[in-house]
Amino acid sequence: MAAIPAATRKPQRELPLQESRALMRDHFTEHTGEKYNEGWAKLWEAGDFLPWDRMMPSPALPDTLDNHASVVGSAKLVLPDGTTRRKRALVPGCGRGVDVMLLQAYGYDVVGLEYSSKAVEACEVYAKETENEALYRIKDEKASKGSRVFVQGDFYADDWLEKAGLGEHGKEGVFELIYDYTFFCAMQPSMRPAWAKRMSTLLAPNPQANLICLEFPTTKAPNAGGPPFASPSKAYMEHLSHPGEDIPYSEEGEVRMQPFAESGPGALERVGHWQPADTHGIGKDADGNVADYISVWRHR
């Protein structure tokens, strides 16, 4: 897959990884707590330092949809009366919207959610520029593309559901697919209980609704700060097994596993866990081996 450049993207400050991460950390040191979302909005407004923005989906997403369909299913939802409709998908913190475009090509009706209104504008421009590119062409010739809508809102609030045209579906169990790509790692660790609770609330009941998480960065030192904050598999496991609950962390920022603790209300169950065949270079080790994981979660 080749990245598709957006004519409107500002030239980026190209920095070595360590410098780029230090700059991100310093920026967000000034935007903690209630100012955290504004920290993201400011980066989008400046537009010249978007180090996560790779202008194309991670190859891990098509690998998951094509090669792990036995776990994640397709874009078609079969209702109890035997009729079908497209699944509704959510990409929270969708950035420039590349994953929204890909899921739409796979037949999902997709909502791309962004706190930054500048990012939403960037999504609209990118979508128009790229929708006929081979990467985003319909995947199943016998079907058609799903719909897409980009909406500004805070993942933790409800108002964007209405703005996305989903008001009639209530506030719970709205999506049959949620794709978390570099959204969990974008949250300060103190926000993770709320992240897990919100995922659990928005995900439709099993068996046809999946939360897919691309786990990244899995090898970053837990005390190295962020974003991106260290996101080993056990962090997803502990938080999604206990949505809304505080999870113990060591002083070094390491998640303490509680394998015998009963799961909490709204807990999601991991139904798949593997390393994708390919991923962006940032998710590989120095030898080019994939370090990211995909995890798939459902209500019990």
Ligand X SMILES: C[S@@+](CC[C@H](N)C(=O)[O-])C[C@H]1O[C@@H](n2cnc3c(N)ncnc32)[C@H](O)[C@@H]1O
Of 240, 255, 237, 256, the closest CA to residue 189 belongs to 255
CB nearer to ligand X: pick between 150 and 155:
155
Cβ distance 151 to 163 under 8 Å?
yes
Contact indicator for 4, 55 with CB cutoff of 8 Å: yes
d(CA 42, CA 20): 16
Shortest Å, Cβ 153 to ligand X = 7
Alpha-carbon distance of 157 to 62, in angstroms, equals 30
Q: How far is the CB of 68 from ligand X (least distance, A)?
A: 20
Residues that bind ligand X (CB under 6 A): 37, 40, 52-53, 92-96, 113-116, 119, 154-156, 181-183, 186
Tell me whether residue 106 or residue 160 sits nearer to ligand X (CB atom). 160
Rounded to a whole number of angstroms, the minimum distance from the CB of residue 260 to ligand X is 33
45 vs 66, beta carbon nearer ligand X: 45
CB of 121 to ligand X, least distance (A): 12
Determine the Cα–Cα distance for residues 291 and 100; give it in Å rounded to an integer: 24
The CA distance from 276 to 279, in Å, is 7
Residue facing ligand X at closest CB distance: 93
Torsion of CA 172, 100, 166, 241, to 10 degrees: 0
- CB nearer to ligand X: pick between 17 and 79: 17
- Counting Cα atoms < 13 Å in the Cβ hemisphere of 76 gives 9
Residue 53, SS3 per DSSP: coil
CB of 232 to ligand X, least distance (A): 17
Nearest-approach distance from CB 123 to ligand X, in angstroms: 10
Cβ at position 228, least distance to ligand X in Å = 7
Indicate the residue among 11 and 82 with the shorter CB distance to ligand X. Answer: 11
What's the farthest any 2 CA atoms get from each other in the chain?
56
- Nearer to ligand X (CB atom), residue 106 or residue 181: 181
Give the residue with the Cβ less far from ligand X, 108 or 155.
Answer: 155
Cα gap 25→185, rounded to integer Å: 13
Torsion of the alpha carbons at 239, 244, 250 and 252, rounded to the nearest 10:
80
Q: Which is nearer to ligand X, 77 or 280 (CB)?
A: 280
Alpha helices in the chain (DSSP H): 17-29, 36-46, 60-67, 69-72, 98-105, 117-130, 159-163, 192-202, 233-241
* Shortest Å, Cβ 229 to ligand X: 10
